[in-house]
Structure 1
Amino acid sequence: MYKFFSSVAVVYCSFALAGCGIVNKVRLMNANNGIEPIWEQNQTIATPEADYVYAKPYIYVSIDGVKKVKLLIDTGSSISMLFDTPKIKQLQLEQGYELTIGGYGGHQHTPAFQTKINTLVIDSIAYKDVNFGYIPLSETRFFIRPDQAGFDGVVGNDILKDLVWYFNRDANLVTVHKTLPKAISNMKPEWIPFDTFFGKISFPAKITFSDHVLERDIILDTGSRYHMSINDAYFGGGKAFPSPSIQSAGYSLSGMATHFKANTPLVEVGNLRLENVVTNIIQEDEDDFWTLGSALLSQYEIVIDYPNMRLAFIQRKGHSFKSQYNLLGLELRKLQNGNFVVVYSSPDLPAKALNFKIGTEINKINGVKSQLYTVDEWQELASKEGLFEFCVHESDICERVSAAPIEGFSM
């Protein structure tokens, strides 16, 4: 069995499921081994239009002439995927061999298939005859409403490989290079060597819990919106479960799955010391479900040098690492109309007093229209203490609640 881990999905083929055995797994994993980037004449850098949402990096590409296709760059994914959004439906993709997809925290599976596109263009780079997995996302439980969908697919390591990728959230920038440019080399980055297993990048980390220290490899996952995720099975071996822990939830293709959040005192990667890292502790069968996600990664300029199998965390000017805690426990997602929708309320935090049901649409926060908040502005707001007011779109009823730091968790 294999998986690629991200906030998008955990996709896998099970040996026991008809039509999606080891043969199809290996075929898709290796389908893009022969593709190579084709650069425009004399070009050595590509600067696609980029966007960061929930701190995750997205780029706009063209696929078979369809422009402005929005893809998540997901280093936690071994393969690249397309979804059944209006943009992708324009391509009228042919159905190839079958896949079966599912998500962490559940056992529902969704039929999917391999497909191939003629040309993928990322600014000054083109790829020919590229294989993708195709997920009918609207038929899964990843979104609670169809108008949540905000992107068209995923660029995985099968396309990212062989080039140098640079991420700078401050500048809203993603650049791609043939080789490491002098501008980055002159920054004198401290390189961290990485390995790849099933295409995913892993590197050594030292994790200090409240009662012990662990040294192990961890996966670089730009597709995750979390700071750090770890497997709760680890604490079944006599290790103390982090306390206090806060109940939270995430969504995969199997729908909502609850898990816990806790504070990890120290995470060390190379010479980097990250103190008080908010950590999602997730129930998952796979032992390698240990990742650093974009809420943490985006607080640095990140360089991934695939040809030399190394990566670097470069300090952002005027910024020091700090975990972002949702003190309210209210999880909101953007709708295409600009409003927010409630996808979860933690029973351990003030949001429970609001009594919002999953699916409640919020059109104002603190007297400001939801359309005027970006996703990341909402995340920043939810990490602050104080009084909050939320107005419900369907009724214009407004509810108030206060948030404060949580001893041992956010302070």
Structure 2
Amino acid sequence: MSVVFRSLSSLTLPLVSALMLTLTISGCSVVNVLKLRYANDDVEPIWSHSGSQFDIATDYIGEKVFVYGSINGVDGFKFMIDTGASFTLLFDTPKVTALNLPQGYDLNLAGWGDDDDSLGYQINMESLKFGAMEVTNFKGAFLKMSKTRYFERSDELIYDGVIGHDLLRHFVWTLDKKANQVTVANKPYQAPKNVKAISFDTSMSKISVMGDIDFGNGHKTKHDFIIDTGSRHYFKLSSQYPKANDIELPEAQVTAADFGLSGKAEHQRVTLPQIALGDIEIEKVKTNIIKTDDEDDYWIIGNATFNQFVTTLDYQTSKLYLQPYNNQAFKSRYNLLGLEVRKLLSGDFLVRYVMPDLPAVTSGFKAGDVITRVNGIDAKDISKDLWLSMSATPGKYEICRESLPCESLLSEHIEGYSN
């Protein structure tokens, strides 16, 4: 989940200034989103560690990465690292609500989906601290996340907020999924000799890197890709680009759905031959083809891609480093069962979407079902990452739901898509 403000992402600064004036006169909440985007420009972080780097308490859930910090002296808040978010957000968890942060100006926070924008408001944190790094008088957004279309139930909300560009931009962040560790540094990254830097640009609080994409059949192009660690996917692309450029996508496709702040977005998924970032060539990339009006929307690389490397984002030098793990080739994971699920606070899985033409739909699974056991293992003992691996592995699975009989599902590879 990333907070996206698509309509302003490609505007020039003079045009943005004119638009801000127009919106101020009209009273539109859009100007408040822009205001918050730059509200922390004068903030200088406090670094109290004796060295130039330290590890932050970290938790990976599926393809997303979370770190723990404190707000106003209260410990234990769980934040997702989200390079696609323009600013830091807090959600309406019991822990955040108990802070009783005063309400500032209103915010309409647009995320991709088919429903209305989500209403939030600006807040101020006297202190936001992660280990030996702290910012004071830090502005952010509060969002009643459990009430948005991103969630079906309030017990899906298992983290307290996201760290956005306004804080990330000060430091160097190394994300290592295999080690379950995030390291933050206040000095430029010193890369191993065999790891080359890939320059990235910053615009409108987003970072992007130039890359090459191979669609197959001789269709190759160079384009900038938004780096979005808040996305659980590999690669997202506007459906308009292939149409506008007479590019034929692979015939093997599946229908799927994802959820943003503004609700559900059904889309097609395909496998593209290759994406190259610098000298890193990524083969057979699972790609979400998103319905948009603009062919330049949704050139996004998500965290499922970055998790297959030790990934370092050096905001101080505007460099991205991707260090492959030893003896591990890049491999996309595919949902062969057809169940899009979320972890609940109880540890069970909530079915959010059932993909058509895959095994789960023929066995009567529906959105809203709660999965309690898989192959005799309680769901609370199955991590989201293990679930992703199971759903990507062809085989027979006995899946038990709350108050319903267990069902046996047989998953297989999809020719031209997953193999």
TM-score (norm 2): 0.92
One-letter code aligned to 2:4 = V
Query: What secondary structure sits across from 1:351 in the alignment?
Result: helix
1:152 to 151, 156, 160: 160
Paired letter, 2:196: E
Say if 2:307 is the partner of 1:298. Answer: yes
The answer for the alignment partner of 1:217 in structure 2 is 224
Q: Are residue 262 (structure 1) and residue 256 (structure 2) matched?
A: no
CA contact (8 A) 1:120 1:130 kept: yes
Following TM superposition, by how much is the alpha carbon of 1:187 offset from its aligned partner in structure 2, in angstroms? 5.0
Q: Verify: 1:10 aligned to 2:4, yes or no.
A: yes
Distance 2:157 2:171 in 1: 29
More off after superposition, 378-387 vs 285-294: 285-294
Please point out which of 207, 213, 230 is paired with 1:207. Answer: 213
Tell me if the contact between 1:20 and 1:100 (Cα under 8 Å) persists in the aligned partners.
no
Kindly indicate whether the alpha-carbon contact (under 8 Å) linking 2:188 and 2:317 is maintained by their aligned counterparts in 1.
no
One-letter code aligned to 2:162 = V
Tell me how far apart the structure 2 counterparts of residues 29 and 9 of structure 1 sit (CA, whole Å): 11
CA 55–110 in structure 1, closer or farther in 2 if over 3 Å, else same: closer
Per the alignment, residue 360 of structure 2 pairs with: 351
Residue of structure 1 aligned with 2:259, choices 236, 245, 251: 251
Aligned-CA RMSD value: 1.8
The match for 1:275 among 283, 297, 304 is 283
Deviation of the 1:65 alpha carbon: 1.6
Contact 2:4-2:84 within 8 A present in 1 as well: no
* Separation in 2, partners of 1:43, 1:92: 35
Which amino acid in the other structure matches residue 224 of structure 2?
D
Q: What do residues 149-188 of structure 1 show as CA deviations (whole Å, max 9, x unaligned)? A: 111111011100121111111111101111135xx43454
Question: Please, which of 33, 53, 65 is the counterpart of residue 25 of structure 1?
Answer: 33
The residue aligned with 1:328 is 337
For 1:67 and 1:19, the matched residues in 2 are separated by: 38
Matches of 1:35 and 1:298 in 2, distance apart? 30
Give the secondary-structure state (helix, strand or coil) at the position aligned to 2:335: coil
**CA positional deviation for 1:288:** 3.4
Question: Quick check: 1:54–1:375 contact (8 Å CA) kept in 2?
Answer: yes
Alignment partner, residue 91 of structure 1: 99
Which segment drifts farther, 120-129 or 90-99? Answer: 90-99
Distance 2:3 2:31 in 1: 21
User: Which letter maps to 2:340?
Assistant: E
Q: Give the Å deviation of 1:317.
A: 1.9
User: Secondary structure of 1:108's match?
Assistant: coil
CA displacement at 1:43 relative to structure 2: 3.7
Which residue of the partner structure matches residue 229 of structure 1?
A: 236
> 2: CA distance between counterparts of 1:321 and 1:34?
40
- Rounded to whole Å, the distance in 1 between the matches of 2:59 and 2:261 is 23
For residues 36 and 363 of structure 1, what CA distance do their matches in structure 2 show? 47
Query: Are 1:407 and 2:415 an aligned pair?
Result: yes
TM superposition shift of 1:112: 1.2
For the residues of structure 2 that align with 1:266 and 1:114, how far apart are their CA atoms? 41
Match of 1:162 among 141, 166, 170: 170
Aligned to 2:43: 35
User: In structure 2, what is the Cα distance between the partners aligned to 1:358 and 1:218?
Assistant: 32
Extract unaligned runs of 5+ from structure 1. 1-6
Gaps of 5+ in 2: 9-18
Letter in 2 for 1:344: Y
Measure, in 1, the Cα distance between the counterparts of 2:7 and 2:90.
17
Q: Quickly say closer, same or farther: Cα 1:296–1:162, change in 2 above 3 A.
A: same
Q: Which 10-residue stretch deviates more, 280-289 or 355-364?
A: 280-289
Deviation at 1:283, TM superposition (A): 1.5
Deviation, 1:305, is 0.9
Pairwise CA distance, 1:77: 1.3
Q: Deviations over 1:353-383 (max 9, x none)?
A: 1211111111111111111100000000110
Match of 1:4 in 2: none
**Any conservation in 1 of the 2:147–2:154 contact (CA below 8 Å)?**
no
Equivalents in 1 of 2:377, 2:269: separation in Å?
A: 29
SS of structure 2 residue aligned to 1:26:
helix
1:218-267 deviation digits (Å, cap 9, x = unpaired): 01111000011111121221322332110000111222221111001111
Equivalent of residue 341 in structure 1, options 329, 333, 350: 350
- Contact 2:106 2:122 (8 Å CA) reproduced: yes
**Offset of residue 114 of structure 1:** 1.0
Q: How many matched pairs?
A: 402
| Counterpart Cα distance in 2 of 1:21 and 1:364 | 45
Amino acid at match of 2:359: P
Alignment check: 8 A CA contact 2:215 2:247 kept: no
AA at the equivalent of 1:220: I
User: 1:391 aligned to 384, 400, 403, which one?
Assistant: 400
Letter paired with 2:398: E
Check the 8 A contact 1:13/1:101 in 2, yes or no. Answer: no
- On the 8 A contact 1:147/1:335 being kept in 2, the answer is yes
Partner of 2:130: 122
State the match for 2:327 in structure 1.
318
Name 2:72's counterpart in structure 1: 64
SS at match of 2:223: strand
Q: What's the CA shift string for 1:17-70, capped at 9, x where partnerless? A: 964445323311110111112011534223210011122111000000221100
Q: Does the aligned pair in 1 maintain the 2:215–2:249 contact within 8 Å?
A: no
